[in-house]
């Protein structure tokens, strides 16, 4: 069941408040001492500045205009899901979910420049089909099954997890294209550009005011961005992809002087909660799941939080650690525990609130102690940089890459 939209100008507050309330109601605890343990750990203090800049938004593309580029990143953000199909995507193409949707959007753009029709236009999104998306992804949608009448004969038929994933992609693109056509926009970038200009009229009031305008317009207009639900009688609002898009705009256009569109300040927006953030925060001892009560079966990673494991994860990696560019990165990851939609919302809510508390803790640390420890920069870390660190550090060292992430299929939100 989908909850009502938050009140106008209350979308950011709804994300923070609903996440905190659902986390507490679900019996998930976050201990200040555990937060400080992470912040002051060798793994955090030595990697944060480097790893938090690995946002994955630098692409070798030359765009014909700023609007063209804005449209590209708008569609990329719309398609920023598929984490539940990470393992079959790795098996089929050697790429995970994010790299797959990035490659797909890349191919949509390049195909659109060859004269075969603009696949990133409103009409292109509305009419693209399963076969074309599978072709651009480079995956097969057929699975082999024994013939029901001929023993020993195997036949191929449409089906399997990749077919499910491609159908979700096509449905999301088609619905978005239809909405854009109905609203009279040539592409998604044109809609976002108008939202940015509208946000620019209130940007002088506050950073949040501008972000509220963009966030509300995106979420109200397109089902693919309506990342919200009712869980155990409580409303929860995450809006991961919409927040990601707004921050991507800041990263890509914030350095222009002057910028081609009004660019919001995203230093204080909530994190873009997917399956990686809560999974890593559980492994790193920040999110403590209940062992009794109605959620006692939510023991996602039974050995997470043990002193022996945390000692390894919070320390420096081994000197000869295999880097992501090496062959270890090509190994197909293990499938993590499969959760229900409600369970995944609970953990994603916990991650949103945990990151808010991490920033609060960082800002409250004693300056004298920080100066003595040469980590005086800790109170200045931002929520988006923290998000990027958690997401990117999961790939930065071999023992982190081996950590399981929970799986939620049949969702277009993460």
Query: Both tokens of residue 103?
Result: 């490659």
pLDDT in tens, the chain (414 residues): 689 999 999 999 999 999 999 999 999 999 999 999 999 999 999 999 999 988 888 888 889 999 999 999 999 999 999 999 999 999 998 999 999 999 999 999 999 877 668 999 999 999 999 999 999 999 988 776 676 677 777 666 777 899 999 999 999 999 999 999 999 999 999 999 999 999 999 988 888 999 999 999 999 999 999 999 999 999 999 999 999 999 999 999 988 889 999 999 999 999 999 999 999 999 999 999 887 655 555 667 877 878 889 999 999 987 767 555 444 446 788 888 999 999 999 999 999 999 999 999 999 999 998 888 889 999 999 999 999 999 999 989 989 998 999 999 999 999
Whether 312 is covered by a domain: the verdict is yes
Whether 328 is covered by a domain: the verdict is yes
Query: Both tokens of residue 414?
Result: 């993460």
281 close to 303: Cβ distance less than 8 angstroms:
no
| Angle of CA points 181, 186, 192, to nearest 5° | 100
Give the 3-state DSSP-derived string for the chain, with helices as H, strands as E and coil as C: CCCCCCCCCCHHHHHHHHHHHHHHHCCCECCHHHHHHHHCCHHHHHHHHHHCCCCCCCCCCCCCCHHHHHHHHHHHHHCCCCHHHHHHHHHHHCCCHHHHHHHHHHHHHHHHCCCCCCCCCHHHHHHCCHHHHHHHHCCCCEEEEECCCCCCCEEEEECCHHHHHHHHHHHHHHHHHHHHHHHCCCCHHHHHHHHHHHHHCCCCCCHHHHHHHHHHHHHHHCHHHCCEEEECCEEEECCHHHHHHHHHHHHHHCCCCCCCCCCCCCCCCCCCCCCHHHHHHHHCCCCECCCCCCCCCCCCCCCCCCHHHHHHHCCCCCCCCCCCCCHHHHCCCCCCCECCHHHHHHHHHHHHHHHHHHHHHHHHCCHHHHHHCCCCCHHHCCHHHHHHHHHHHCCCCHHHHCCCCCECCCCCCC
**What is the number of structural domains in the chain?**
1
- Domain of 158 in residue numbering reads as 11-401
Distances (CA, A) of 328 to 135, 151, 164, 312, 396: 27, 40, 28, 19, 11
Specify the pTM.
0.92
Whether 2 is covered by a domain: the verdict is no
Whether 112 is covered by a domain: the verdict is yes
Whether 377 is covered by a domain: the verdict is yes
Q: Cβ contacts of residue 277 below 8 Å, gap of 6+?
A: 271, 348, 351, 355, 387, 390, 391
pLDDT at 326: 47
Q: How many CA atoms lie within 13 A of 96 on its CB side?
A: 19
350 close to 23: Cβ distance less than 8 angstroms:
yes
Distances (CA, A) of 189 to 77, 109, 176, 177: 11, 13, 12, 12
Q: Give me the residue label for tokens 């992501």.
A: 324
Whether 69 is covered by a domain: the verdict is yes
């Amino acid at each position: 069941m989908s909850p009502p939209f938050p009140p106008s100008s209350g979308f950011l507050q709804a994300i923070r408040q609903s996440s905190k309330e659902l986390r507490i109601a679900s019996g998930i605890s976050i201990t200040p001492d555990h937060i400080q343990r992470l912040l002051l750990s060798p793994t955090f203090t030595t990697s944060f500045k480097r790893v938090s800049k690995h946002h994955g938004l630098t692409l070798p593309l030359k765009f014909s205009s700023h609007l063209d580029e804005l449209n590209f990143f708008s569609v990329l953000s719309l398609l920023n899901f598929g984490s539940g199909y990470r393992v079959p995507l790795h098996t089929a193409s050697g790429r995970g979910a994010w790299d797959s949707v990035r490659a797909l959007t890349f191919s949509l753009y390049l195909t659109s420049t060859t004269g075969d029709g603009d696949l990133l236009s409103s009409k292109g999104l509305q009419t693209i089909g399963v076969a074309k998306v599978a072709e651009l992804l480079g995956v097969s949608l057929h699975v082999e099954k024994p013939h029901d009448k001929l023993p020993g004969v195997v036949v191929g038929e449409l089906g399997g997890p990749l077919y499910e994933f491609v159908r979700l992609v096509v449905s999301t693109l088609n619905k978005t294209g239809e909405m854009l056509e109905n609203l009279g926009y040539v592409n998604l970038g044109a809609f976002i550009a108008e939202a940015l200009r509208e946000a620019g009229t209130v940007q002088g009031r506050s950073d949040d005011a501008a972000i509220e305008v963009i966030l509300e317009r995106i979420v109200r207009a397109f089902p693919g961005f309506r990342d919200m639900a009712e869980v155990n009688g409580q409303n929860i609002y995450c809006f991961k992809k919409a927040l990601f898009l707004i921050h991507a705009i800041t990263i890509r256009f914030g350095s222009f002087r002057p910028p081609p569109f009004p660019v919001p300040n995203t230093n204080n927006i909530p994190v873009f909660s997917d399956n990686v953030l809560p999974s890593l925060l559980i492994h790193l001892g920040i999110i403590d799941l209940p062992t009794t009560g109605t959620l006692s079966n939510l023991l996602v990673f039974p050995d997470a939080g043990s002193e022996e494991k945390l000692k390894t994860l919070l320390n420096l990696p081994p000197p000869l650690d295999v880097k992501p560019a090496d062959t270890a990165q090509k190994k197909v990851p293990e499938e993590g525990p499969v959760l229900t939609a409600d369970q995944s919302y609970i953990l994603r809510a916990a991650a949103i609130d945990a990151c808010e508390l991490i920033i609060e803790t960082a800002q409250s640390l004693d300056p004298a102690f920080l100066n003595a420890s040469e980590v005086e920069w800790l109170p200045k870390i931002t929520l988006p940089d923290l998000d990027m660190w958690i997401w990117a550090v999961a790939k930065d060292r071999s023992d982190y890459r081996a950590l399981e992430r929970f799986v939620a299929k049949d969702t277009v939100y993460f």
